[in-house]
A and B are shown apart, each in its own frame.
Chain A
Amino acid sequence: MDKIVSRLAAVPAKSMMTGMDGEIREGGSPKTPLISIRNVSLSYGNFRALTDVSVDFYQGELVGLVGDNGAGKTTLIRIISGIIPPTSGEVYFDGEKITKFHPKKAIDLGLECIQQTIGLCDNLSVGRNYFLGREPIRRIFGLPFLDKKKIKEASAKVVHDFGLRDSVDVDDEIALLSGGEKQTFKIARAVTFRNRVIIMDEPTNHLSVRERAHVNELALQLKQQGLLVIYITHDIFQIHRIADRIVILENGRKVTDVPREAMSSEALEGIIRDGAGTPLKGRSAS
C-alpha cells in the first residue's frame, strides 16, 4: 500500500472541484457545506438510533466521527450514503435537499464508501465485485456485454498495487480472501473510484499495524487532494492526529463538534468514556 500513498499524490481525484458536467463548482467552499445534516432522527419502531443530529461537512476537510459502540455512527453514514432514509430531518448535498434516498444517487453525487459489514458479494469474483454497479461494457450488435478483459486488467492492477498477494487472481471468488485482504480490497476500490467524498467506516479493521498507518496517510492525502473525508473510528488518539475536526456521537445524539486544536485527545477520550450525559437509547418518551 506504500506504493499507492506516493502514487496518489500524482493522480488527481476523478472530479475534485469540478462537477459531473465538467464545470468548476464552488460547492463546498468554507461558506457552504458540501453535506449538511439538519435535525435528523431515525427510529426503528420504538428504538431511537439517532435523535436530532445536525452536522455540516465541508469539502477538503477530514472529519473524525467517533463514539462508543451503538452511538449511531454507522447509522448516520447509512443515511448519508443513501441506504436508509431518516425518519425525520433533512439532508442537503451541495445545497440541494435530498428527497429520494438511494445509494445510486449518493454515488452519482460523488460519494464513495467503505462500509463496515457490507459491500462485498461473496459469490462474485474480485473483478466483478470491483466493478459492481459500474461494469465496463463493450457493445456487440449494439447490446451491452461485460468487457471482461478490462475488468480483469483494471481490477488486477489496482488490487496488486494496494498490496494483495500475487497469488490472488481477480477471477477468484472474493469469499476466498482473508478478512484483511477483503478490507484492503474495499479500500482500493473506494480510493480508485474516488470522486468528491470518501466515507471510511472503521477502515483499519483486520489490518496490520503498518497497514493501518498507510490507511491514515491515505486519508490525509485524499483530503489534501480536495476531497471530503469522513473517517469513523474507535481510536480517538489516531484520528486526533490527522483530523481537522472531531465529531462525537453518543446514544444517537451529537455531543461534541470541535476543531482538532480545540480539545486534546485525552479530553475527547474522556467524553466518550465517561459519557456526556445523554439519555440512553431505547423506548422514546412517547
Chain B
Amino acid sequence: MRAAIANLVRRHPEAITITLVVLISLTFAIATGGSWLSVGNLQSLSQLTAVLAIMAFGEAIVIATGQIDISVGSVSGIAALTFLGLAPGVGCGLALLAALVSGSLIGVINGVFVALVGIPSLLVTLGTLFLFQGIGYAVTSGFSFAASTLVRKQFTYNAFGGGTAAEINTGVIWALIILVVLQLVVFETPIGNRLLAVGGDAVSSFSRGVNVTRIKFGVFVISGVLAALSGVLDSAFIGYADGSFGVSMELSAIAAAVLGGCHLAGGRISLVGTLLGAFILRGIQSFLIILGVQPQWYVLAVGLIVVLTSLVDRTLTKLALKR
C-alpha cells in the first residue's frame, strides 16, 4: 500500500499538490461560508494565479535542467515597463513584441554566462536580477507608467491581460495554452526527453550525444520570454507599473514550482503541479484577505508549506526507491 502511494507520487509528482488543492479549497470554502468560491473572488484569483503560473512555468523548465533563474522577477518588471512605456507611442502590438524580445534578450544573457562561460546559474541570474532591477528603477525614476484610455481600448491590450473573454481574464487563457504546449513539448517530444535527461544526469546525457550546452542555454531564453509575458499580462490587468513591479516575485515562482512537485536538483517536473502550486499560493492569499486575517500570515504560511511539501515529497520518494 505504502509502495503503491510512493510509486504514484514518483510518476506523478503533482499528486500531493492535487490533494493539497482539494483540501485547501474545501477548507477555504467552508471557512468563508462560501464567499471564497464567489464568482468575483474566483475571477480575481484566476487572474492572479495565471500571472504567477506563467512565470513559474518558465522557472520549472529551468529547474528541470538542474539550474535556477532568480532574475524572472526583474524580467517581468522590465517587460511591464517596456510594454506600458511603448504602448502609447507605437501601439500595443509592437509594444508587446518589444516586451517579449526584451525578456528573451535577458534570457540570452543569462544563457551565455551559464551555458557558455560556465558560471553557476544562481550567480548569473543574481547578477541580472540586480542589473535589471536597477535599470527598472532608473527608467521610471520614481514615476510609474500607466495605460491611458486610448491604450486600454486596443485589441492587443485586451487580448493580453487587460480584458476578459467569457468572464475570464484573458491571461488565464494564455496560461492554459502555455500549459498544454509545455506539457506536450516536455513529455512528448525528443527535445523534452533530452531536457529531462540533462536534469537527471548531465554528464550521462552528454555521453549519449545530447547537446547539453544548447539545452542549458535554451531554457533561460524560455524562462525570460515567459517571465516577460507574465509581466505584460499583469501590467495590462492592473493598468500601471513602476520600478518595484515584479520585485521578489521570483521567490513565489520558485515556491510554486517546488510546491507543484518540481525537484530543485532537476530531472523531475510537473507543469500541472506548478499551476496548482501557483493556485495554492494565491488561494491562501485571497483566503486571508476575505477573512480579514492579517495578510502578514500569508508569508509565514508560504514558508511552512514549501518546507513541509518538500519533506513529504522527499519521504515518499525514498519509500518508492525501497525494493
Contact = CB atoms under 8 A, between A and B. Distances in A.
Q: Check A-B contact in the complex, CB < 8 A.
A: yes
Interface of A: 81, 83, 102-104, 106-107, 113, 115, 118-124, 128, 131-135, 137, 143-146, 148, 173, 175-176
B111 interface: no
A104 B204 CA distance: 12
A104 B211 contact: yes
A176 B321 contact: yes
Contacts of A146: 188-190, 192-193
25 contacts: A83-B203, A83-B207, A118-B201, A119-B204, A119-B207, A121-B200, A121-B201, A121-B204, A122-B200, A122-B267, A123-B199, A123-B200, A123-B201, A124-B196, A124-B200, A124-B267, A132-B197, A133-B205, A144-B189, A145-B188, A146-B190, A146-B192, A146-B193, A173-B10, A175-B321
Given A122-B267, A128-B196, 12 more contacts: A103-B206, A103-B208, A104-B211, A121-B197, A122-B200, A122-B201, A123-B196, A123-B268, A124-B197, A132-B210, A133-B209, A145-B188
B2 interface: no
A118 B203 contact: yes
Interface of B: 10, 184, 188-190, 192-194, 196-197, 199-201, 203-211, 267-268, 321, 323
Can you list the 5 inter-chain pairs with the closest CB atoms, starting with the nearest?
A123-B267, A121-B200, A123-B200, A135-B190, A133-B209
A128 B206 contact: no
A123 B10 CA distance: 9
Given A124-B196, A146-B188, A132 B321 contact: no
A118 B207 contact: yes
Given A113-B207, A132-B205, A173-B10, A121 B267 contact: yes
Contacts, number: 83
A144 B268 CA distance: 22
A133 B268 CA distance: 19
A132 B194 contact: yes
Nearest to A143: B189
Nearest to B263: A123
A83 B207 CA distance: 6
Contact of B207 (A81, A143, A145): A81
A113 B201 CA distance: 17
A83 B193 contact: no
B208 A132 contact: yes
Nearest to A122: B200
B33 to A, nearest CB: 44
Given A137-B190, A146-B189, A119 B268 contact: no
Contacts of A122: 200-201, 267
Contacts of A103: 206-209
A200 to B, nearest CB: 14
Nearest to B211: A104
Contacts of A132: 193-194, 197, 205, 208, 210
A118 B204 contact: yes
Nearest to A108: B209
B9 to A, nearest CB: 12
Contacts of A81: 207
A126 to B, nearest CB: 13
